[in-house]
Structure formats: C-alpha cells, structure tokens
Amino acid sequence: MKYHLVSNKPLFFQPTDTTRNSPKHFLSSFFVAVIFIICPTTGCNNSPNIAPVKGTVLLDGKPLEGAAVLFHPTTDERPAVGVTDKRGMFQLTTRRQGDGAHVGLNKVSITKESEEPQLNDAQEGIQDFTLITPAPYASPELSAVEIDVYPGMESIMLEMTTD
C-alpha cells in the first residue's frame, strides 16, 4: 500500500509502505520528534561560545565558602557567576545552571562579605558590609586576574592572600 507525499502530516509520519506502520518505526519516528522538540529547549546544541568552567577559591591557603566568583568577558556579554561551597569549589553559570563562561579572555572578580553588618555611625540605620576578600579582587579591573576560557579546560585554582 502506497501513499502520496502530499499531506499536512510531517514527513516522518507519512508511510510509503505497510512496513512503516510497525510499532518499531513509530517509536523511532517518535524519538526523532522528541529530539527536535527537546534539544532547542534544553540546550542539546550548547552555544559554541560558552564552555564549562569549574574551580576552587582559596584565601590564605584555605577553601573560601560563600564567595561570589564572576567572569567578565572582554566582549559586551553577560558575565558568568558561581558561588563557592564549603570546599571552596564553584561552577560558573551564564545562561543555564552550570553551563560555564564565554570562551576567550575573562577578567575575574571574587567577593565575600562578612555575615555581620556594621552600623554606619554617620547615618543611623545604614548598614555597611565588610569584605572578607581583599578589596582589589572585588573589581575585575583591579584584580589583575584574567582567565582564558576554552572548551575542555581543566579545573582552575584561584588563590588570594590578605597580605
């Protein structure tokens, strides 16, 4: 039994003979349809300009928990951000959780504020936060840390000292 190819059904659902009506063919057609629907929404085709980046932050040789790590690309793109866990480890996110940072040179900033805010004496009720990390690392321009991001890169180590 043959069918004409003129139909409003998608091509992968148009059988040309009776063997295509088998359950096996239906499942393979269904699988193809699912791939075409899921990949664009979940990122099967990752952006070629973003690569996974993970690493560890140390302050005076010890893992730093709760620090914000930002990779600022030199192009006019969104920065990647990650927060360190209790082992000082982070994984960067730009668009989707854990997708990484923009490929190419990125300036790095690292900040962690004290958990105890201090009241500003000049203005009552205003709270100031004290940086735990050295002040230059709060600015991508002043930190002098630059990382070249590329696909397949190894885990990185970011070490700071309070001296």
Residue 70 β-bridge partners: 81, 109
- State the burial class of residue 47 (Cβ atoms within 10 Å of its Cβ: 0-12, 13-18, 19+): middle
d(CA 93, CA 13): 39
Average pLDDT for 40-64: 80
CA 59 to chain centre: 23
Query: The whole model's pTM is what?
Result: 0.66
**pLDDT value of position 4:** 36
Average pLDDT over residues 63-91: 96
Tell me: the pLDDT tens digits for 113-161?
987 765 555 556 565 678 899 999 999 999 999 999 999 999 999 999 9
Higher pLDDT pick, 162 / 56: 56
Domain at 50-160, CATH from 3.20.20.140, 3.40.109.10, 2.60.40.10, 2.170.260.10:
2.60.40.10
Mean pLDDT of 92-116: 94
Spell out the domain ranges in the chain.
11-42, 50-160
Spatial contact of 66 and 112, defined as CB atoms under 8 Å apart: yes
How many whole angstroms separate alpha carbon 50 and alpha carbon 48? 6
CA 82-85-87 angle, to 5 degrees, is: 125
Write b or e for each residue in 26-45: b if 16 or more Cβ atoms lie within 10 A of its Cβ, otherwise e: eeebeeeeeeeeeeeeeeee
pLDDT at res. 114: 86
More confident residue, 27 or 54: 54
pLDDT of the residue at 69: 97
